Amino acid sequence: MPGTIFTFYSYKGGVGRSFTLANVAVLLARWGHRVLCLDWDLEAPGLGDYFRSQLPAPPSGGVVDLVDDFRHGRFAPEAHVQRLTGVGVLDFLAAGRDDPGYVTQVQEIGWDGLYDDGFGEYLEKCREFWTARYDFVLVDSRTGISDIGGICTAHLPDHLVLLFTANRQSILGAVEAARRADAARNLLPFDRARLTVLPVLSRFDNREEYDRSETWRRIVVDETAELYRTWLDQAVEPATMARHLTLPYVSYWSFGEQLPVLSEQTPGADQIGFALETVAAVIACRLDRTDLLAENRDAYVAAVRSSRREFKHDLRVSIPRTSVGTANELVDELKRRDVRAVKSLSGDRSLLSRAEDDARHLCLVVDGKVSRWQAAEVELFLHRTLGQDRRVIPILTAGTEASSLPGYVGNLRYLRLGGSRGPAEVARDLVGQLKGGTPLADDDPDLPALLGQVREARLRPSRWDLVDELVTALQPAVGAADSGRARDLATDLAVAVKPHSPDGADRHPAPPGVRRSIDWLLRILDTRAQPTTQHRKDLG
């Protein structure tokens, strides 16, 4: 899966934009992601001050040198990148060298002329280079309206993190900048989905003036409500999400350039690290699964925090009380094959109170039907699975008909227990699946990325009718693991959503029915076994 670019932008200065970006970057890296930070605030660079103690040496170059490389026909976007120490895979590209010559470099740049000479295509190559090597690229943009701001808000990002304080100039200026960026993005000669915007209310003090703070919360929601429309779960109110996306004002952290997330390892709800974790988790989920955030913030953050961690158990085996004996034999056979398996007997309420799951995969032993308890187990497992390599693996007892099971189980590849296939044979095949020897599905690995693109597209109503037909036809194909049929439909779908003109008139976001169908498909693909993710294991 290619990386995602988030630009952090504010219309006015002094809102904590660089502070927020730096702390979010540290959290993402600590959680196991590969992160690159770009200081594109060329006229007032300061992101490096937050990383000063983690930098191995003063920057020898930076973003301005990309322009120099372009002028001289060089392509070396990695040339001046520095790896920070002690915080995981966190790389930093400064604005440039910290010397008197830097100012001259910046003043000599004419962005319009550069784009006339093909700098846009060159920057697109840099973008592809970065997203191929990092999970997240975080861009610190200049404030206000400028040519540099247009690069950061329209050309580079997949998502825009919009920071503002509780005053109308800051709020309205930021919202207008987001509208401008979306309009400019629609005219780019590059294939881009609509720009999604994450509004973050920063430096908000509700401790002294509670009544006034609540009034301003309502103003913020009223002015930014449109920004949530393209990504917020329909069951979640913007006012609810706005509270989660609020960074409190804490005077202690207003002095100097500091990283509270390094000292607040397990922050309480009244600490700024708590709010920064929430924002970082939304970014880590790429603005998805906001229904879980609204329902249980701690579970949402815990799921993201643990997405790259080592699990205590390889497999949790959910056992119905009607099959305890056979299921116990299955667990014993798995342990003989060095699988760290743990049993879950229907009614184990301790599972419901845990913020984090301690088993990577869930094996569901189904005897006749999925019990209400097992249905709750699957739902909880899926809630805690946010784009991770975690699988639900059904094992059906003799006489259990797959066609009679609910779709979230019946549409998965299953193993059969009974007759000549006893616990030893099933354990052998199950180990093969866990090790990647016998995948649960042959899905095209590009299909999740394509579905994500469709979800964010803006098309004419007639084109959405075609997309709806294709997505609907994909559901049984993916459910049955019919890779040939799924590949053919995916090819047609890619053509259907390809932009045919830069004109944004009469183009609309995905209808709710299409979004629900895509979410179902993505959930099935996420919980089904995928090819090895070894390329992500180079994070340490």
Instruction: Tell me what the mean pLDDT of segment 433-453 comes to.
Output: 62
Tokens for 21? 């970006």
pLDDT in tens, 238-290: 999 999 999 999 988 888 899 999 988 788 888 999 999 999 999 999 999 89
Q: Which among 152-156, 309-313, 336-340 has the top mean pLDDT?
A: 336-340
Length of the chain (residues)? 540
Phi, psi dihedrals of residue 502, rounded to the nearest 5°: -75, -5
* Least confident residue range of 107-116, 465-474, 510-519: 107-116
Structure confidence by residue, pLDDT tens digits, 114-133: 888 888 899 999 999 999 99
Each residue's pLDDT tens digit, 337-394: 989 998 888 666 665 555 556 788 999 999 988 888 888 888 878 766 655 567 888 9
| Predicted local confidence at residue 354, as pLDDT | 57
Domain 4-306 has CATH 3.40.50.300: yes
* pLDDT at residue 526, as a whole number: 67
Residue spans of alpha helices (H) in 134-285: 147-150, 168-186, 210-228, 238-244, 260-263, 272-284
Residue 27 is predicted with a pLDDT of 96
Give the mean pLDDT of the chain.
84
CATH classification of 313-435, choosing from 3.40.50.10140, 3.30.70.520, 3.40.50.2300, 3.40.50.170? 3.40.50.10140
Q: Which tokens go with 7? A: 């630009």
3-state SS, residue 136: strand
Helix (H) or strand (E) holding 415: strand 415-417
Q: What are the tokens at 463?
A: 């084109």
> Are the CB atoms for 80 and 59 separated by under 8 Å?
yes
Q: Give the pLDDT mean for 475-503.
A: 72
For the chain, percent helix, then strand, then coil, each to nearest 5? 50, 15, 35
Paired tokens of 172 = 């309205």
Is residue 93 scored above 90 in pLDDT? yes
Q: Is 225 left (phi over 0), alpha (psi -120 to 50) or beta?
A: alpha
- Domain locations in the chain? 4-306, 313-435, 447-529
Percent of the chain residues topping a pLDDT of 70: 86
Which of the two residues, 200 and 298, has the higher pLDDT score? 200
Rounded to the nearest 5 degrees, what angle is found at the Cα of 292, between the Cα atoms of 288 and 298? Answer: 115
Structural element, H or E, at residue 431: helix 423-434
Please give the C-alpha separations between residue 425 and each of 66, 122, 131, 318, in angstroms, as whole numbers: 58, 55, 42, 18
Is residue 441 scored above 80 in pLDDT? Answer: no
Model confidence band, residue 530 (pLDDT cutoffs 50, 70, 90)? very low
Strand, coil or helix: 482: coil
pLDDT of residue 293: 92
Task: Examine domains 4-306 and 313-435 and report if their fold is the same.
Answer: yes
pLDDT-derived band at 527 (thresholds 50, 70, 90) equals: low
Rounded Cα distance between 465 and 210, Å, is 48
Q: What is the mean pLDDT of residues 62-68?
A: 90
Distance CA 365, CA 187 (A): 53
Claim: this prediction has a pTM higher than 0.75: no
Q: How many CB atoms lie within 10 A of CB 438?
A: 14
Asked if 371 contacts 320 with a C-beta cutoff of 8 angstroms, the reply is yes
* Closest-CA residue to 217 (of 195, 196, 197, 237): 237
Better-predicted residue by pLDDT, 477 or 80: 80
